[in-house]
Amino acid sequence: MQIPVITVDAFTNRPFSGNPAAVCLLENDLDEDLLQKIATEMNLSETAFIRKLKPGDDFSKSSCFGLRWFTPANEVPLCGHATLASAAVLFHVQKNTNSVLTFVTLSGELKARHVKDHIVLDLPLYTAYPQELKEVEELIKAAVGDMIVQDVRYSPDTRKLLVRLSDTYERSVLENLKVSAQHFLSAEKTGKVKGLILTVKGNSSGKGHDFYSRYFSPWYGILEDPVTGSAHAVLSSYWSEQLGKKEMLVPRVGRCWDGSSVPPTHLLPPVQLLQFL
């Protein structure tokens, strides 16, 4: 059995930037242990597995597929950039003829639309609720030290903690912040946090980016994940409420990001052909 593995740099038009994901096309479902071993060997923040749902399905003609995401450590319930990468492989490599693809996932059905030279994702919107600071104080201190924190929220659906830094801080402060994410594991005492979002407000003049963010998830084996779709499913809900806006322009800051907003996705040639004898 051979499985092609394609590396996709999501949210960029340049190789070796954006957020890379591995995408595997499965003719048949595989044992979960084998999926995890493949993801561990790929050693990217996420490996996506697209599978046919019924006999007769075709990667170039069908419009609905199963989709799972694995980090090098375990399976995750949602991954935005690997979903985008999966859609890019189907649209651009497999030449799928549909304008809309549906992915059946642990987070429900996700839609990917092919619009001109872009791919538009419809992701769930998750609410983050006020979080008592004392309960997560040690984790926050491990992340930002003595910096001023303006708001703390928790999203139970995604198990992500959102930490908003003071509006007195600019993008460069967040961008240059030295974070030792491996220390989060011992600092998190509640057992409920699986991802940490750091965010600051953007330009208040109405021009430019509305907010900035960085995302860390050592609980899933990811010290820092650039350009994180699942984190923005939480951030979008929070900042929409805070800013009173339905449409927002956001970049990411942190490693691998090239500073642009949301450029097209760059596909690399297949880098692996897994063969099981």
Active-site residue numbers? 46
Q: Are strands 64-70 and 100-105 parallel, antiparallel or unpaired?
A: parallel
What number of CA atoms fall less than 13 Å from residue 13's CA on the CB side?
A: 8
Q: Are strands 64-70 and 160-165 parallel, antiparallel or unpaired?
A: unpaired
Residues belonging to the chain: 277
Report the alpha-carbon angle 208-171-120, nearest 5: 50
How far apart are the C-alpha atoms of 263 and 277, rounded to whole Å? 40
CA distances from 229 to 94, 124, 159, 204, 270 (A): 23, 10, 15, 24, 23
Residue 67 contacts residue 46 (beta carbons within 8 Å)? no
Q: What kind and span of H or E run contains 148? A: none
CA distances from 50 to 29, 108, 259 (A): 9, 15, 30
Residue 184 contacts residue 218 (beta carbons within 8 Å)? yes
Residue carrying the six token digits 């860390």:
216
Alpha helices by DSSP H, listed for 57-183, are: 80-88, 133-144, 171-176
